[in-house]
């Protein structure tokens, strides 16, 4: 099995000191995680599914606190507006797999993985296009990967999405 193009992101932050499990950014991280799980349907890594039961709430907050920082949850100027990270090429076409930890790109030709909490970082890739006609009539600035996945996923639902490419001058 070829390992080329395989990326696994790991946060080396040491876990120390007292965790502030009431920090407002943790509420945001937790609600993003729940939103992401809804968005994903059934295709969620086992370790995420296990943490979402009410008895594990404190454990979940502790894990979020130790693996993320508040600035991981915000977009960058001129950046993609999708509130979580995906595959650089295929965006949110990610899935959990029974035999391994984390999220994996579901494109059959692409071996790309990101750890469970790494996926919760806001996408910070430069926006290259704006999508309109999405559910809720909103517009969404997207990076290359998220343009691919949003158009792909909208097409399953039969939604007509308009893609407006941004000039190269816009990319930050
Ligand atoms: Zn991919
Ligand atoms: Zn993106």
pTM of structure = 0.81
For ligand 2, the distance from its centroid to the CA atom of residue 54, given in whole angstroms, is 30
For ligand 1, the distance from its centroid to the CA atom of residue 90, given in whole angstroms, is 4
Any idea which ligand is nearest the CA of 80? 2
For ligand 1, the distance from its centroid to the CA atom of residue 161, given in whole angstroms, is 21
pLDDT band at 17 (very low <50, low <70, confident <90, very high): low
Alpha-carbon gap, residue 21 to 57, rounded angstroms: 10
Alpha-carbon gap, residue 120 to 22, rounded angstroms: 18
Q: Read off the pLDDT of residues 22-47 as tens digits, 9 standing for 90 and up.
A: 889 999 999 999 999 988 887 889 88
For ligand 1, the distance from its centroid to the CA atom of residue 121, given in whole angstroms, is 17
Q: What is the pLDDT of residue 92?
A: 93
For ligand 1, the distance from its centroid to the CA atom of residue 104, given in whole angstroms, is 8
């Amino acid at each position: 099995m070829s390992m080329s193009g395989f990326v696994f992101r790991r946060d080396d932050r040491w876990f120390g000191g007292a965790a502030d499990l009431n920090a407002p950014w943790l509420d945001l991280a937790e609600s993003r995680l729940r939103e992401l799980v809804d968005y994903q349907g059934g295709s969620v890594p086992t370790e995420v599914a296990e943490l979402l039961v009410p008895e594990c709430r404190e454990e979940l907050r502790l894990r979020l606190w130790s693996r993320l920082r508040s600035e991981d949850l915000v977009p960058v100027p001129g950046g993609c507006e999708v509130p979580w990270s995906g595959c650089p090429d295929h965006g949110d076409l990610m899935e959990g797999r029974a035999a391994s930890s984390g999220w994996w790109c579901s494109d059959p030709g692409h071996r790309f993985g990101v750890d469970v909490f790494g996926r919760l970082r806001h996408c910070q890739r430069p926006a290259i296009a704006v999508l309109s006609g999405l559910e809720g009539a909103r517009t969404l600035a997207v990076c290359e990967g998220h343009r691919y996945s949003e158009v792909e996923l909208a097409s399953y639902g039969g939604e007509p999405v308009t893609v407006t490419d941004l000039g190269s001058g816009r990319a930050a």
